[in-house]
Structure 1
């Protein structure tokens, strides 16, 4: 499954640079809403074709879909797109990679899942990585610090959505829940765009690179990325799929360098490394089990041959 994993990492990692280009020429919430409207146009038919049931039948079904729509999609994307007006996509990708660490901490606090001092260390390392990337000036609240703060709030919102969906016991399949979430998230973002007073730019003012960037974000990373994400969830599981978060910053930095000529700075690299270590500390047990499963599968495969 290395090829699907690599393709999804490329699609989602490159999307951070695409967002950076697009929000320089159009309102952020409008772009985010349109992105998920396009995703919904693909995900909903996919769910209809592959799942036996799409209609919620319980409060748990509605709660899981609502939490995903409000936090995992609407809240996360709103903060990400607005924050991307102030920071490069490569920096935003590093900050977003803290979401698994934040998710583990919130799960311990809100769902009373087991945690220990090592989990706290992992969370502190995640925050330290964000600070290294942001490099805030104590004497002034610069645009970079504001942007990093907004994107980090997006990562927290994503984590709240992940924990929120786990607090329910839905009978709907994951794909069906995600279909409802994309529809609800897109609607919430578009309503937020109207309430924020955003208006579409005149077509003549939007350069070709912004249109190409948005098409990539909506079609490749959005619609196509979600279909591949569902496949990975079904075949390799949630823990392994989560690791894509740590390939995305590498891809984003490479794409930013190749497309925009942005240098890959030492603080960004070090910050990403610290965040990755924090993730390893927090998810050490799940990662160990995932490695054990992989090794066992290889041993069985060799024995069969």
Structure 2
């Protein structure tokens, strides 16, 4: 099939598709149509994708191979790294290929699957962040009871519940979305298949889907944010009462890095999805804020959460030295 985006403008594509043609392919317009920016975007996203994959793969390998890291904290980080590998592999390869080849189409089935897995993985990531915040809270504020509260059975169960809850929260609104009649126009003004933009292709009443999406977004974002904020509030209160200035500074330095990542991650998602419905500026806002969520935080998370950790760096250097010897 010819790539209509190579010789028609988005307005002309809308005109040719009409309002009744069944959509089988979507055109992802990307971040910019400017030719001079395409190569910069391509190089930036490719470098980000490779760094994100490398950082998270190191986390997965090291936490599996080093028995000293077979603890609750590193089990959470191991699953978090798997989530981010899957998440970045869901968006970036297609986007980079589209920029490189100029062929911006994606099949409707692939677009819907990308939409489902994007929100399933994102929701699971929020739940896992809340679990990790609770784990840090227990480790700092209830150290003597840590082994009892966060037993091996407990932390494995918490991770499994995060994956299950993420799936269950997204599967119902997604299944309703999949059954909708998708008609023209077939352009998606984004670099991936986002929810509100996909609904623009539906020629039916989408108020129920929008309501379900709003409820899920509020629960998964604001619900987990309240848990995370409560845990870190207690953590900071405990840190401020540490008598040793050196230990207090060390603990605060670790927590401040985590708080910055959480602020970027939650802030960008709240700007994108916590809204009462589709608005005239929703597409532009989502398109501008999305790279902060899908590019910046994905790249810095491995370095903030694990690669700055002395135990992980020590395990990595030991494995490298064994390979070299």
Instruction: Bin the TM-score by the shorter chain.
Output: under 0.3
- Give the structure with higher Rg (CA): 2
- TM-score relative to the length of structure 1: 0.27
Instruction: Report 1 or 2 for greater relative contact order, CA contacts < 8 Å, sequence distance ≥ 6.
Output: 1
